[in-house]
Structure 1
Amino acid sequence: MRKLSLISCGLLTLALFGAQAARADQLADIKQKGTLVCGTLGNAEPFSFPNPQTRETQGYDVDFCGAVAQALGVKLELKLISVAARIPELMQGRVDVLAANLGWTGERAKQIAYSDSYFVSNQMVSARRVDKYKSPADLAGKRVAAPKGSTSEAGARKLIPNVTTVTFQDAPALFVALQQGKVDGVVLSELTLVKWKHDAESSPVPIDVLQPPLFVEPWGIGMRKGETALINKVNEVLSGMEKSGEAAKIFDKYLGAGTEYKLHRTFKIEPIKG
Structure 2
Amino acid sequence: MKKLISILFMSILAMGILAACGTGEKDAGTAGDSDKKVLKMATSADYAPFEYIDTEKSSDIVGIDIDIAKAITEKLGYELQVQDMDFGGLISALQNGQADFVMSAMSATEDRKKNVDFSDVYYTSKHVIVSKKGSGIETKEDLAGKKVAAQMGSIQEEKGKELAEEVGFSIENRNRIPELIQEIMAGRLDAAIIEDTVAQGYLEENKDIAGFTIEDADGGYAIAFPKGSDLTDEFNNELKAMIDSGEIDTIIKKYFE
The question of a shared fold, defined as TM-score above 0.5 by the shorter chain, is answered with yes
Question: For residues 160-171 of structure 1, what are the structure 2 equivalents within 5 Å?
Answer: 160=164, 161-171=167-177
Aligned residues: 220
> Residue 185 of structure 1 corresponds to which residue in structure 2?
191
> What SS does structure 1 have at the residue aligned with 2:83?
strand
Q: Give matches, 1:47-196, under 5 Å.
A: 47-51=50-54, 52-160=56-164, 161-196=167-202
Q: What is the Cα deviation at residue 162 of structure 1?
A: 2.0
Offset at 1:224?
A: 1.0
The structural deviation recorded for 1:68 is 1.9
- Looking at structure 2, the residues matched to 149 and 39 of structure 1 have their Cα atoms a distance apart, in angstroms, of 14
Which amino acid letter does the alignment assign opposite residue 239 of structure 2?
L
2:226 maps to amino acid = R
* More off after superposition, 66-75 vs 93-102: 66-75
Aligned to 2:221: 219
25, 38, 41: which one aligns with 1:38 = 41
- 2:155, 2:217 within 8 Å by CA — same for their partners in 1? no
| Contact 1:155–1:214 under 8 Å retained in 2 | no
Could you tell me how far apart the structure 1 residues matched to 2:184 and 2:216 are?
18
How far apart are the structure 2 equivalents of 1:152 and 1:236? 29
One-letter amino acid of the structure 1 residue matched with residue 139 of structure 2: S
The normalised TM-score by structure 1 is 0.76
Q: Deviations over 1:22-55 (max 9, x none)?
A: xxxxxxxxxx861111111112111111132122
Contact 1:156/1:163 (8 A) holds in 2: no
Deviation at 1:249, TM superposition (A): 0.6
> Identical aligned pairs, as a percentage?
24
* 2:143/2:168 contact within 8 Å kept: no
**Structure 1 residue 230 displacement after superposition:** 1.4
Per the alignment, residue 13 of structure 1 pairs with none
Unmatched 5+ residue regions in structure 1? 1-31, 259-274
Distance 1:237 1:37, change over 3 A: same
Distance 1:134 1:123 in 2: 14
Which segments of 5 or more consecutive residues in structure 2 lack a partner in the other structure?
1-34
Distance 1:134 1:107 in 2: 30
TM-score, structure 2 as length reference: 0.81
Report the Cα distance in structure 2 between the residues aligned to 1:104 and 1:159, rounded to whole angstroms. Answer: 20
**Contact residue 109 and residue 218 of structure 2 kept, 8 A:** no
SS of structure 1 residue aligned to 2:210: strand
Q: CA deviation at 1:217?
A: 4.2
CA distance in 2, matches of 1:215, 1:109: 16
Distance (Å, rounded) in 2 between the aligned partners of 1:214 and 1:241: 24
Q: 1:246 to 1:215 in 2, by over 3 A?
A: closer
State how far apart, in whole Å, the 2-side matches of 1:186 and 1:126 are: 5
Residue in structure 1 matched with residue 238 of structure 2 by the alignment: 237
Amino acid aligned to 1:198: E
Aligned residue for 2:181, secondary structure, equals: helix
